[in-house]
Chain A
Amino acid sequence: MESLRSRNLEAANLRRQNLASHILTAPALLWLLLFFLVPYLIVLIYSFLTPDIYDIRFIFSLEAYRQVSAGTYLKPFFLSFRLAVFTTLACLVLGFPVAYLIARARERVQNTLLVMIIIPFWTNLIIRIFSWRIFLASEGVLNDVLLRLHLICSPLEIMRTDFAVILVMVYVYLPYMILPLYSVLQKLDFTLLHAAMDLGANEVKAFFRITLPLAMEGIFAGSLLVFIPALGAYLIPQLVGNQQSLYVGQVITYKIKNIPRNWPMASALSFTLLLLVALLLFLMYLAWRRRVLTKRGEYE
């Protein structure tokens, strides 16, 4: 009897806790449902409809996906993918040493440095991109200085190139890489590096066998934070890139902005981009799981 009663009490407690957690998470769930899932469903539905000059006709069509799979938009996808890979790699290579140095600095210095990383966020993104335009332009600050120093004889054409796009992308997204890297490196126990060196590893080996694997979480998080937005980048290619190489984000925008409008095409491209990201995440998950599994296999 006693145990039955306590079990009932336990169950009641559990129910109460569940109810409380449901109530607390409801607003966020509702928000996601209304403003994330429902719009995405609309995008998905639109991608299977027929375009009209200004609007859309509710007639089922696979035309948009036929064009995507026929490779009509291969170049924008390739450009966007290349941009995302280059930006992520550059941010990783440039961001890691910075994050490492901040993590190893004294606590007060750490805070100052972190604020310095975050300060650019206080300025509007468009203003920062326009500053780059002024800086990189053929009669801009950079060329002016280089010409005066006689390091070059004619202005470098950097503006409106793919290189300029990557440059500004790296500039904008670097903090998104540094912050997650910092947060894992800051928790890293640096005596582990001493232990590795004590066991015969020099600085380079200690880095690759201890620091890097233990920073993996931050590398993944930072890479996702940079890679995914870079894949759909619109603003930066639009403002510093050229019209010969259009990125997926730009193509999607034009499909909606230019007349005749093509809502289904824009939707199909968006959805394809989403599928690509999902596929990538899935592959990463598989790779990670395989690593863990083969590790276990070694001893059995």
Chain B
Amino acid sequence: MADIRLENLSKDFDGFLAVDDVNLTIRSGELFSFLGPSGCGKTTLLRMIAGFEIPRGGRIMIGDQDISELPPYKRPVNTIFQNYSLFPHMTVYDNVAFALRIRKSPKSQIRDQVRNMLALVKMGDQAQKYPAQISGGQKQRIAIARALINNPKVLLLDEPLAALDLKLRQHMLIELMNIHDAVGITFIYVTHDQGEAMSISDRVAVMENGRIVQHGPPDDIYERPASIFSAYFIGETNLITGEVMGIEDEYVQLRCPMGNGEFFEIDSTVHFAPTLGRQLTVSLRPEKIAISRSKPRAQEDFNILRGTIEDILYLGTHTQYIVKVGELRFRVFSQHKRVYFDEKALDWEEPVWLFWHDTDSWLIDEVPESGSPSLSHDVTNVYQRWVKRQQSNGI
């Protein structure tokens, strides 16, 4: 068992830096994800580990072995390709047996191992079918069996669920975790879907423009984003910019412009040492904010704001409110429970109170550049408009 170390790894295509000086250690047996928007370099990184791209600089180490220059067929690594790349002219059985036949394993051994592998992915009764005769989920299982039979030290998965529908995706995600537990090897998972990455991974690396901007356990990245990009790319968030007005132990008081010349104040805990007068950004997850028609009783460690409901979007598991505070718009998620603050449902244009605990606001030592996501340019899509019109017409 051996860790994978990426050392100063970089790759360019015609001068475009796809992967930029990446340093990372992936621990043996870990389920590690690279998460980022398309073009962030995550797939290039995976292809370098697989051997389909040769790095421009840096090294890829598995244990003490430098594999950066080895051809793909000499690496102790196997890949699950995005559209599975099963061999169409071979049966399921032959696909899974492929690696063993290349290695010229004895026939009886091939038969036993293929059977075991097909049993592991629950495809034992489909051995004689051709890839064209099985479903997407089944192809996925065969791709996994075909890769694992090779006994790799590392399994690379390149957006493996992208081609499946939602229900199947959720099912396969659990299946993948089970398989990971069963075989105990390192899985490296590449995806642009933050939900997948969060639910499956031991650790996640968030990538932007060829660089790793943050890595750590999923809850760490969600609750404690290191940059505006991490905060915004993973989950939804409200970003509020303000100036440091006071510092008291681990608490900071921010003065935030509302965009209409007025200001409000936000208290937050802080994990770094800001200076007075510094511009910072607060990341506030929509589900951390409580919304109510009646004013909450004043509490020391709560931030309380007054705003007006601008949009309501019913989403089944929760409702999303867009609440206007000054010129700023807050996104608030509220679950539907009987035991809640308001007897009667909140309505459009209604004045409401927003409140959240000081420890739920997270400070980022960064200010949004113009054009990047912030509260003032928030989405209000056509659907929301349509819902609103329906409601105001009394339908």
Contacts and interface: CB of A to CB of B under 8 A. Distances in A.
A213 interface: yes
B102 interface: yes
A213 B81 CA distance: 21
B93 A199 contact: no
A199 B81 CA distance: 12
A280 interface: no
A189 B146 CA distance: 18
Interface in B42-97: 50-52, 71-73, 77-79, 81, 83, 85-89, 91, 93
Given A210-B87, A299-B93, A200 B102 contact: yes
Nearest to A193: B85
A199 B128 contact: no
Nearest to A210: B87
B85 A195 contact: yes
Contacts, number: 63
Contacts of B353: none
B72 A194 contact: yes
B150 A199 contact: yes
A18 interface: no
A199 B91 contact: no
B217 to A, nearest CB: 29
B258 interface: no
Interface in B126-154: 127-128, 146-147, 150
A191 B83 CA distance: 9
A289 B87 CA distance: 20
Given A198-B73, A198-B79, A202-B71, A213 B89 contact: yes
A191 B73 contact: no
A197 B85 CA distance: 12
Nearest to B75: A198
A201 B87 contact: no
A210 B51 CA distance: 19
A195 B71 contact: no
A199 B85 contact: no
A84 to B, nearest CB: 28
B99 interface: yes
B337 interface: no
Given A198-B78, A199-B78, A192 B72 contact: no
A192 B85 contact: yes
Interface string B14-52: 000000000000000000000000000000000000111
A191 B77 CA distance: 16
Contacts of A296: 128
B187 interface: no
B338 interface: no
Contacts of A189: 85
Contacts of B78: 198-199
Contact of B103 (A200, A210, A295): A200
B127 A299 contact: yes
Interface in A184-234: 189, 191-192, 194-202, 205, 209-210, 213-214
B98 A194 contact: no
A296 B147 CA distance: 23
Contact of A214 (B79, B89, B127): B89
Contacts of A299: 91, 93, 127-128
A195 B79 CA distance: 8
A197 B127 contact: no
Contacts of A205: 102
B150 A200 contact: yes
A299 B79 CA distance: 27
Nearest to B107: A298
B98 A199 contact: yes
A138 B52 CA distance: 53
Interface in A159-203: 189, 191-192, 194-202
B364 to A, nearest CB: 40
Contacts of B85: 189, 191-192, 194-195
A192 B72 CA distance: 13
A197 B71 contact: yes
A298 B73 CA distance: 27
A299 B77 CA distance: 29
Interface in B305-320: none
Contacts of B83: 191
A189 B132 CA distance: 14
B52 A194 contact: yes
A162 B184 CA distance: 66
Contacts of A198: 50-51, 72-73, 77-79, 147
Nearest to B93: A299
A189 B77 CA distance: 22
A253 B248 CA distance: 109
6 contacts: A192-B87, A196-B87, A198-B51, A198-B72, A199-B78, A213-B89
Given A196-B87, A199-B78, A296-B128, 11 more contacts: A191-B83, A194-B72, A198-B78, A199-B73, A199-B99, A199-B102, A200-B102, A201-B98, A202-B71, A202-B73, A299-B127
Interface of A: 189, 191-192, 194-202, 205, 209-210, 213-214, 295-296, 298-299
Counting from the closest, the 6 A-B pairs by CB-CB distance are A195-B85, A199-B99, A197-B72, A200-B102, A198-B79, A191-B85
